[in-house]
Structure 1
Amino acid sequence: MVGQPEQIFNASLGYDFKGFSGRVSILHQGSYLGVGGGEASSPGAFRVDVASRSELDAFTASMTRWDFSASQKMGNNFKLYVNLNNISNALEQEFNGNNLETRREEFGWTGELGIQISFE
């Protein structure tokens, strides 16, 4: 189907022990024939990037993204936590039918480190 990858995979592996909690997760999205913005007949509409000449078709490349999170309770009211997203630096890339890169988005990784305080 145009605009939909044939393979989508999500998995998460977690470990909890006493006050510790940790998770690692993966998202894989296979390549697909693109659907994008561009000239559309009405706002919010999509344009299908399928051309009458195959070299003008747009393909979005597959990507795999890894995330990690962990937390540790410290006493009754405090929790230390860390969240790391896209630690694999996954890219979003689009190619035309001649395999020339036409779009590249690099988001890098992001992270949070903090202390949660609960008042009970």
Structure 2
Amino acid sequence: MEKLPYGPPYPVSPLIRSARYAFLFAGIVYGLVKQSKYSAQEEKWREEEAKRKKIRDKQNAILKARIAREEKETLKLLESGKLFEVPEEARPESETDTELSCGKPKKKTCHCND
């Protein structure tokens, strides 16, 4: 057998060996306990998230339906040419009146009081 460059291994105390295995075992147990705890928390969170997802999906479906309906109405107005027309109730009074108080047709300049 070849001679080792640093000499033979140093004998490790049985106390240190048993402590190493005890800490190894304790770490494994600690990890299992923590994993079970976190698994339970994660399962609870996933259930809550599934409920929130159902609600969110319903809200998104309603929103998409509303957007589609509004888009369809806008396209109808655009195709008919009524999209850019100003409704009667939104026009100023001066534009909706066709006759003046004197009975003459409305013009840009009025000389009714002349």
After TM superposition, the score normalised by the length of structure 1 is 0.16
- The one of the two structures with greater contact order (alpha-carbon pairs below 8 A, sep at least 6) is 1
Q: Based on CA coordinates, which of the two structures has the bigger radius of gyration?
A: 2
Structure with more of its chain in helix, by fraction: 2
After TM superposition, the score normalised by the length of structure 2 is 0.16
